[in-house]
Structure 1
Amino acid sequence: MAKLAVMLPVMLYARKLDSEDPQVVLYLRVAYGVVQVCMIIVVLICMQKVSSKAGDSTVVYTEKAKGFMDDPKAPKKYIKSTRGACYGGKMTEFRNSTFMGIAMTVGLHYYKGMVMGLCMQCVMAPFNAYENKIVKFALFGAGDMGEKLESDLTKDDLIVEVLPDGTENVLGKGKKEGKAPAIEDKKDNKKGSDKKLSKSAFEELLLDTWDQASEADLSPLLKQLTVSSVKWTTSEQKWTPLMVLCGLSGAPGFEDGIRKCVELGGDVRASDNDGWTPLHWTAFHGNATAAKVLCEIGDIKKEDVGRKDEEGKTVRTLAEEEKNMDVWFAIEKALAL
C-alpha cells in the first residue's frame, strides 16, 4: 500500500509532463542518470557485502513466495539451502532486476521516446531498493534476510524443493510446535520451546555443555535460548551463553547458536569476571569463525577490539599468546582494520 501511495501520484505527475519540450526531457535524463548511477553503486556495495557470506555453509530455510492464486491461509513453504547460496541467489536477483530495469527504461526512451519511465524510475528505483532485503542487510545493518534456522521452523511449515519442471516436492515439516506455550515471560513466547528451565537449571545446562567441549550436543541449549535466558550469566564467572558458544569452535551448530544469541539480544560487549568479552573468548579458544560472525552481525566497533581484560590484554594480545592469529586476521578482514 505504501508503494502504491507513492507510485500513483508519480504516474499522474508524469502524464502531465511535456515530452516534446527538450528542456524537460534533458532534466529527466539528468535526474534519471544520477539516480541510476547511485543504484549501480548500491548494487556494487551489496555485492561486496554479500561476498563475505559466499563460504557460509550454515543450513537455512527461505520462505517461498506465494503466487497470486495461492491460498493465503495455506501453510508456509520453505526451501532448504546454505546461507551462502541463499544470499548469493538473492544478490543475483537484485543485480539482474536492477540492470534489466535500466536497460528496458533506456531502450523504451531511446526507441519510443517514452519519458514516463524516466520519471517513474527516478522515484521508484530508490524506493524499491530501500524495501529490498539485500539492501537492508548490506547498508542498513539488518542481521539477516529473513531466513530461518531449522530450529525456528514450526510443525505448520512445509520444507519443499522446486524441481526443474517447476513442480514441488515436499521434503517434510518443521519440528517446533506452531504455538509457543504459555509461560510467565511474554517476550519468551516468541522464541520459546515447550519447557523452559529455571535460571539455575539453565546455568547447569550451560556449564555441562561447556564441559563437553567439541563433543557437545548444542540442541538442548539452543532450544532454551530466549530473550531472557540469553542475558543470564553463570553465578561464579559471569559467563553468558554467547561467550560459551564462542569458545566451542569444534561443536556442530555453534555458529547457528551465536547468530541466535545475537538475534535474541545477547550482549556482544558483555564481559565476564576476567574482563573477557565474546571476542576475547574467540581469540583465546581459536574460534575464527565465531569472530567473523560477531563482526558481521554484532555491530562490533574498532574500540570493542581494543578493550582490555583484567590483566590488560586485548583481543590481539590473547590471539598472539595462544597462537590463534587466524582469529585476529578474521577480525581485521571483517572490520577492515
Structure 2
Amino acid sequence: MNAAASNLVISLGAMQVARKLDFDDPQVLLGVRIAYVTVQAVILGAYYYASYKIKQKNDMTVLKYVEPASPMSGGEQGNLVTTTIRDYDLAETSKLIRSVFMGVAMMGFMHLYMQYTQPLFVQALMGLKNLYDAKPVAIHVLGRPAEGDLKRPFKVGGFMGAAANPQTDKAAIDEAEKRIAKDE
C-alpha cells in the first residue's frame, strides 16, 4: 500500500476513534492538545536532527536529474537539475519542515478560531505516520540505505501512483543538456 492510501486508511480510522472521545471533557481536550503539540515538537526535532546529520555527512556527490514538467506546462520538457546529495537532502528536509509549520498554522486556525477539536487527534497520529514516511529521516536518522524507494531523487507518489517522477536515465539528462546548450 502506498503512502497516500495508508494515510487515508489511518485518517478514517482515527476519525472513528475521535468520534468516541468526549472532547467536551476539559481533561480529554487538554490531553489531546498536549499530545498534538508534543507530536509536532518531536517531528520538528527529528527534521532538525536530520538536517544536522546531513550537514555533518557533507556528501558532495553530484546528483543530476530532469525534474518533471508541470502538468499545466502544455507538454514542455522538465528542467535539468544539477545539485549535490547534501543540498538535495537539505532542500527535501526544508520542504518537510515548511509542511509542518503550514499544518500547525492550519490546525491553529481550525482549532482556535473555528473550534474544531477532532482534527487535533487525527493530525497527531498523521504527523507520526508522516515522520515515519519521511525519506531524509529514514536515511539520516534511521540509517536505512539510499536504495529502492529511498534512492535520490525521491519519487513523488500520487494517490494511485499517477505522479510524474524525476528522470535519472542518461538519455533524459543528455537531452536536457543539449536543450540547454541549444538555448544558449
Alignment TM class, shorter chain as reference: 0.5 to 0.7
What aligned pairs does 1:1-337 form with structure 2 within 5 A after superposition?
1-54=5-58, 56-62=59-65, 64=67, 79-144=81-146, 145-147=150-152, 153-155=168-170, 158-159=172-173, 170-171=176-177
Superposition deviation, residue 90 in structure 1: 0.9
Greater share of helix residues, 1 or 2? 2
- Whether the 8 Å CA contact 1:77–1:159 is kept in 2: the answer is no
Give the conservation status (yes or no) of the 8 Å contact 1:59–1:81. yes
Deviation at 1:66, TM superposition (A): 7.6
Measured after TM superposition, the shift of residue 37 of structure 1 is 2.2
Residues 76-105 of structure 1 show CA distances to partners (whole Å, capped at 9, x for unaligned) of 986332222212211211111122222321
Q: What is the CA-CA distance between 1:106 and the residue it aligns to?
A: 2.6
Whether the 8 Å CA contact 2:66–2:168 is kept in 1: the answer is: no
Instruction: Check the 8 A contact 1:62/1:80 in 2, yes or no.
Output: yes
Task: Report if the CA contact (8 A) 1:80-1:159 is conserved.
Answer: no
| Contact 1:77–1:158 under 8 Å retained in 2 | no
1:45-89 CA-partner distances (Å, limit 9, x unpaired): 1121111255x432113574686789xxxx998633222221221
Structure 1 2/42 Cα, relative in aligned 2: closer, same or farther at 3 Å?
A: same
Higher relative contact order (CA 8 A, sep 6+): 2
Query: 2:11, 2:78 → 1: CA distance?
Result: 29
Query: Secondary structure in 1 aligned to 2:145?
Result: coil
Cα distance in 1 for residues equivalent to 2:68 and 2:12: 25
Counterpart residue identity of residue 177, structure 2: L
1:238-259, Cα deviation, whole Å (9 max, x unpaired): xxxxxxxxxxxxxxxxxxxxxx
How many angstroms does 1:159 deviate by? Answer: 3.3
Question: SS at the partner of 1:143?
Answer: coil
CA distance in 1, matches of 2:136, 2:96: 8
| TM-score, normalising length: structure 1 | 0.40
RMSD: 3.3
Q: Secondary structure at the match of 1:158?
A: helix
Offset, 1:142 = 2.4
Amino acid at match of 1:8: L
Q: Distance in 1 between matches of 2:8 and 2:79?
A: 27
Query: Tell me, what secondary structure is at the counterpart of 1:106?
Result: helix
| Alignment check: 8 A CA contact 1:64 1:77 kept | yes
Larger deviation, residues 126-135 vs 2-11: 2-11
- Cross-structure match for 2:182: none
Tell me how many residue pairs correspond in the alignment. 156
Report the secondary structure of 2:92's partner residue. helix
Matched residues, percent identical? Answer: 28
Q: Give the distance between the partners of 1:64 and 1:12, measured in 2 at CA.
A: 39
CA contact (8 A) 1:50 1:91 kept: no
Q: Is the 8 A contact 2:80 2:176 kept in 1?
A: no
- Larger-gyration structure (1/2): 1
SS of 1:26 mapped into structure 2: helix
